[in-house]
Amino acid sequence: MRTQTKIAAIFFLFSLFVIILFSVSVYYPMNKFAFSDFYKRLEIRAVIAARSALETEADKASVMREIRALHLQKLPQEKEYIFKITPGRSFAEEAERLKVPVSFFQSIKNNRPAIYQQRNIFFSGISYQAGPDRYAVIVSAENYFNIHYLAYIRNVILAAIIISSLFALSMSVLFSRQVFNPVIAITRKVKEIGSQNLHVRLDGANEKDEVGELAATFNNMLDRLETAFETQNNFISNASHELSTPLTTIIGEADVTLSKVRPPDEYIRALSVILHEAERLDSITRSLLFLAQTGFNGKTQKFERMRADQLVYDAKETIDKINPDNKISIDLSRIPHNPDELKIKANGQLLHLAITNVMTNACKYSNNGPVTVSLYPTEASVIIAIQDHGIGIPGNELQHIYDPFFRASNTGEYAGYGIGLPLSRNIMRIHRGEIVVLSRQNEGTLVQLIFPHWQP
């Protein structure tokens, strides 16, 4: 069953239940009151009948008969029965004749009001004391008015239930359609979106409701997918170019060298070119493989508790060996007194690579200018901030810095492949951390490596 149909059915059944419950709550008290009122009327008639028939004073009896004639309309099939109550009398024959139970007469004998219903005929009996004698006075009549009145009310209520049910059903269908029409429209639109038209976006994303939120969320997902597709296409294009260039150089150099016999110094020069391009190809291939490995979330890594400041010192030591002319300084002014506040869950080898990459970039793009590395904890994290004052990154290109092989437009005279920063971001993701890059062209770059605190 479709969700739209299910919601319409639930709404209809709930409405029908409320309608029936309301109808029963109205009809049942009316029915109970109608029967109770009719028994009261019969009881009053029994008292008047007893006084008019058994009263010893003629004046009182005549008054009762006059009141009865003037004010009490005779009921359908109204009958009166007066029986003298004598000790030992069981009233079995009378009960058989009136077709009422013997307990009816027993209630009268015990001075309790007695009532009984035989189909549409209602009986009410009282005990009346006339001088030294007691009498059982019974009045019976057909409850014609109330029965037909209640039947009319019942028919009206049933008709109201049917009409209300049809109205509730219509409203349920209309309501479910009104709710699900935007979802159906989204579904149809989504079916039209494929890899060839990822630029298409859903309408209604600006609406302040759940459907608008769904459309906005889906549009955000499409933005990410479109970016991923573009990144993949750029990656394939750039990787093909970066890999094919050294291969073309190697093959071309080998073909030219082998085309004829040459002096030894030309062979040495050709082999040097081939070796340089092969080393470049090897570097690119290793970087790509490592980038792919760090981007695979299922890869198991070994983590241990480490101090962030020790990672910074180790990275600085490595940079000193690679680039002795660097001007990296470590700012310890915000180091906490408690060393446990600097402990993070880390894979030492991977984080060493990520921090070294960022430090190397800071030195390279600032032409070995001053680079400051700060380290400080916050309430929820440990931050390593690396600040340089180099060429910076153009503002409109910051969104592409994590694309593999992307290099800013102002980095043409600097060697590199555009893999270091994407690799560092993958490593930070493995550590459930975050990398934040703030940069202005010709003013410098601030890179923040944010790690969550160590959780045992």
Digit-coded pLDDT (tens) for 169-205:
888 888 887 777 777 787 888 887 776 676 677 776 6
Give the whole-angstrom CA distance, residue 316 versus residue 152: 97
Digit-coded pLDDT (tens) for 57-91:
554 556 555 555 544 567 788 888 888 888 888 88
Give the whole-angstrom CA distance, residue 236 versus residue 122: 97
Give the whole-angstrom CA distance, residue 125 versus residue 46: 7
Give the whole-angstrom CA distance, residue 290 versus residue 391: 28
Inter-residue contact 352 to 360 (CB < 8 Å): no
**Which of 3.40.1410.10, 3.40.190.10, 3.30.470.30, 1.10.287.130 would CATH assign to domain 210-294?**
1.10.287.130
Beta bridge partners of 327: 370
The residue ranking higher by pLDDT, 348 or 404, is 348
pLDDT tier at 298 (50, 70, 90 boundaries)?
very low
The token pair that represents 147 in the structure block: 């029965």
Q: Give residue 442's region: left, alpha or beta (phi > 0; psi -120 to 50).
A: left
Give the whole-angstrom CA distance, residue 53 versus residue 82: 9
Query: pTM for this one?
Result: 0.47
Q: Within 13 Å, how many C-alpha atoms sit on residue 106's CB side? A: 4
Strand order across the beta sheet in which 381-388 lies? 327-331, 370-377, 381-388, 444-452, 434-440
Please, which residues have CB within 8 angstroms of residue 218's CB and are 6 or more apart in sequence? 186, 190, 202
Domain 304-452 matching CATH 3.30.565.10: the answer reads yes
Digit-coded pLDDT (tens) for 257-281:
888 888 888 888 888 888 888 887 7
What does the mean pLDDT of the chain come to?
Answer: 81
Q: Tokens 């009316």 belong to which residue?
A: 30
What is the DSSP track for 37-56? Answer: HHHHHHHHHHHHHHHHHH-S
Residue 375 has pLDDT above 90, yes or no: yes
The residue ranking higher by pLDDT, 244 or 421, is 421
Query: What are the residue boundaries of the structural domains of the chain, listed by start?
Result: 3-150, 210-294, 304-452
Query: Do 210-294 and 304-452 come out as alike in CATH topology?
Result: no
Helices (H), 55-143: 58-71, 92-98, 102-109
**Res 230: pLDDT:** 61
DSSP 414: S
**Res 214: pLDDT:** 80
